[in-house]
Amino acid sequence: AIELFRQVRGIFRLIGLPGATMLISEMELLSKDVFDERNDDNEIQLAALSNAIIILNHYLEYVHIKQSIFPALLITTINELRVIGKKSFVAESSFFAVNLNVVRDFSVKSSSAVDLSDIPILSRRLRLMYQVGMLGVFKGENPKTNFRLMLRALQRIDALCGDVPMGKLWWVATGAIEAFVTETIELNNVRKSVFGKIDRQIKLLVHQGEQVLSQDPPAQLLKECLYFVSLADKDDDNIVELKRAFALDTNTYTDS
């Protein structure tokens, strides 16, 4: 079976199916683990492999009928195998293409005149607000209310920082949280991990202040947030602005 997975991986790579190539690679690696361990306690691994084979078969039928490769359909199954193999999540935006070199138009957004040296002190309280909301979301306690708490914290951080390189992250992250507030995209463990990455950037703002503001935001985090925005099918003001600025309105599919 491992040898057959390897052969199929080569075929998928040759014909240009990146999602299927990534999935079959994870299936091959998990199969090797099962083979090398050689014990009877492998029900979870084998069940995951069986499920992946079924999903892959359905996916190939989809590609054949629709004549569209749409690799994002396989991300959930890929991550299920990676969790069992004790590996980190693959970003949902792995197959998402977007131009991140967009300059924000501040002529349509007023920002508070705040001394940059005061931002670490002011952002400390806002980080606590964000964390309280995030913890509530993780616990499944009144998610919409807690998402709104996270959103308010990011909106205030965005207003505080104004027109600085790192400000692009707060702008984009605000849109990402709005996508959850509108209840048009669902919550999962991969998406929860993105909230934690945003919190770590706020932490840097608290501890390093002006030094962080002058840095460019992490490209991968921007991409993940913009992917959430692209999936939203209810257009609040900030979501509309982001979709227009980053040309996300060409996306033809929603989260569902």
Nearest to 168, CA basis, from 232, 92, 109, 254: 109
Long-range CB pairs of 39-45 (<8 Å, 24+ gap) are: 44/84, 45/84
How far apart are the C-alpha atoms of 14 and 34, rounded to whole Å?
Answer: 27
How far apart are the C-alpha atoms of 170 and 115, rounded to whole Å?
Answer: 18
Tokens representing 240 are 């509309």
Angle, vertex CA 247, rays to CA 243 and CA 248, nearest 5: 50
**What integer best gives the mean pLDDT of the chain?**
91
- Expressed in percent and rounded to 5, the helix, strand and coil fractions of the chain are 75, 0, 25
pLDDT (average), residues 216-222: 95
The pLDDT, as a whole number, for residue 184 is 83
How far apart are the C-alpha atoms of 40 and 43, rounded to whole Å?
Answer: 8
The pLDDT, as a whole number, for residue 72 is 92
- pLDDT tens digit sequence for 33-64: 999 887 778 899 999 999 999 999 999 999 99
Q: Name the phi and psi angles at 41, rounded to 5.
A: -90, 65
Those residues with Cβ within 8 angstroms of residue 84's Cβ, 6 or more apart along the chain or in another chain: 30, 44, 45, 48
Most trustworthy range by pLDDT among 167-181, 206-220, 239-253: 167-181
pLDDT (average), residues 119-134: 93
Tokens representing 73 are 């359909």
The pLDDT, as a whole number, for residue 249 is 77
How far apart are the C-alpha atoms of 79 and 23, rounded to whole Å?
Answer: 9
The pLDDT, as a whole number, for residue 107 is 60
Residue 171: pLDDT over 90: yes
How far apart are the C-alpha atoms of 230 and 234, rounded to whole Å?
Answer: 10
Nearest to 159, CA basis, from 220, 238, 226: 238
